[in-house]
Structure 1
């Protein structure tokens, strides 16, 4: 509006740019509150009246027409600001509900479980949604620490609903079933009843028992976890035969079976979804996960996983095209505290507490 006034005064009374003053309330309605828009509209009307007198436009209909235009744009801007404010309030409410749903569906995992240090990272392909079809959970069961990381076929609310179903079944069955094969069979029944063959879920199940220093795995069509040894050696333990994804058991495949790998103090096991390994750079190259294993050397598991997540996003040069979940398990070195002393895990957390 200031620019219009300066141009109008510079051009002289013979031209008359005062209708352009309505740009002020027009833009105010796009970015400001309705009160601010009304104030700017009032200022625009005063400027329009002053310029109309200066240009001598009130001797004809042009001046009154310009005033009506500014007034009309102001009313429209106020109405637009009111409706935008309501939509923003509704969107804020929806986002708040989505955050609560995410905390219920993908609740925070414990930082420590038995001999393990645990860290989780979840990057949604849709930043506004904050939730998707990837899933994860850690449960300390009588049989050991049990973990699941999975990826539901498809996107949207249907994928979220299926993810909630799998997590609910896992949280209950992880405490009851004697081994991973029975646990996978129970998850298969739950998913098959709900999706009726229309969807499937790839997943990897892991069970760690402290006394055995091994990790049992059962892979249902999911990317193989990355195992980083204490000496830096990187492997991707694959099963003798992959089981079908959850929800496809009706096709008559052999029952899934677990396999074991050594998992000793100092080792790390990274479980992830295909949104990590299928992240592409500008040339179309996939993210080289094995070459980035050095990023997991940070002292804290959360810092290591955050460094890896940032590298994935940097590799993609922007937002990811698929959800990317990562869960890092670190086998902590054994700790021998004197009698009556604070447990090592608690002492460590207290030392690192802000």
Structure 2
């Protein structure tokens, strides 16, 4: 037995004008001219104006006028003003519906143009990360809290530099266009400094100066910077950001914490010492998940936070992109609706490196 899909709201609205005019015609014939159902024929073009273009609305308006004339003649209403009043009502509603359909079509065209511009902006700001970078495989997931938006205040990047694979995941305070602008500043500075700075502390200092020049007041950016080489270790700088999650080959999960917590980027002028770099074992066959607080602070209906550490088993798929998509789907199911904050996740898999004893690829446990 096959499952039948319920009709969509668009299909229902498309049929409504025909149904309404048919019902009005039957009621008018049954009840007779004394009840005065004839002006209700104008509901046909009124509903037609809700979906479709102006031509469709005009066709239903013309059909409503023909129906109005036929019923008026049948009821003998043109011998008095009632028939002409009904015709004027149908014509007026049709005209308004056509005008509304034209305006809606223009707005939809403008919205499509804005969306295309947003897609270009996304490709420039949050361009796709490379599928492979040195010994790593990478996959990324991004969900914006703003309805219909594809970009927001979270940021990520992976750069294969002469000094190792360098990554960043960050979260700009606030939402909307201001947050997008700040994210662009941080990513631009990171992409340039990742190639120029020989050590991670120098890279962090460059970002701090860039953000401090652009931000005003108490605005800030939490971020975690990482550098991954071929020595089985990853080095991190944490600027007030959630700790990374490392999934070991045996399935256990670690959340390595920095030796001391530093202020987010943009608040360095407050006199706090910068972050201390700390090393984390990251060997072939292991996975590293960097994320923003939109992931860990997502709540279910009972107010429970998303337990990302308990969902590490969802990352077992051999394909990194499918594994991360499974985690993203589970996060959406946990929150049970639109996200309240931007949520970005960057998954890195260490699959070994050619020329090392590990071989080219190490399976994920």
The TM-score with structure 2 as length reference comes to: 0.91
The residue that corresponds to 2:5 in the other structure is none
Matched, 1:265 2:293: no
Matched, 1:6 2:35: no
Residue deviations 1:4-54, cap 9 Å, x none? 111111212333311000001111111120001011100000001111111
The residue that corresponds to 1:340 in the other structure is none
**C-alpha contact 1:191 1:247 (8 A) present in aligned 2:** yes
Q: Distance in 2 between matches of 1:98 and 1:334?
A: 37
Match among 63, 66, 81 for residue 61 of structure 1: 81
The residue that corresponds to 2:321 in the other structure is 302
Matched, 1:241 2:260: yes
Match among 87, 91, 98 for residue 107 of structure 2: 87
Match among 224, 232, 236 for residue 243 of structure 2: 224
Matched, 1:105 2:125: yes
Helix, strand or coil: the match of 1:199?
A: coil
Match among 69, 75, 94 for residue 74 of structure 1: 94
The residue that corresponds to 1:283 in the other structure is 302
Match among 118, 139, 161 for residue 181 of structure 2: 161
The residue that corresponds to 2:344 in the other structure is 325
- The Cα of 1:255 is off from its aligned counterpart by 2.5
- The Cα of 1:232 is off from its aligned counterpart by 0.9
**C-alpha contact 2:138 2:349 (8 A) present in aligned 1:** yes
Stretches of structure 2 lacking an aligned partner (at least 5 in a row): 1-20
Runs of at least 4 residues off by over 2 Å: 12-16, 333-337
Residue deviations 1:192-211, cap 9 Å, x none? 0011344100000000011x
The TM-score with structure 1 as length reference comes to: 0.93
Q: CA RMSD in A?
A: 1.4
- The Cα of 1:180 is off from its aligned counterpart by 1.2
**C-alpha contact 2:136 2:352 (8 A) present in aligned 1:** no
**C-alpha contact 2:259 2:276 (8 A) present in aligned 1:** no
Distance 1:290 1:120, change over 3 A: same
Match among 118, 126, 129 for residue 146 of structure 2: 126
Q: Distance in 2 between matches of 1:108 and 1:199?
A: 27
The residue that corresponds to 1:349 in the other structure is none
Q: Distance in 2 between matches of 1:336 and 1:65?
A: 88
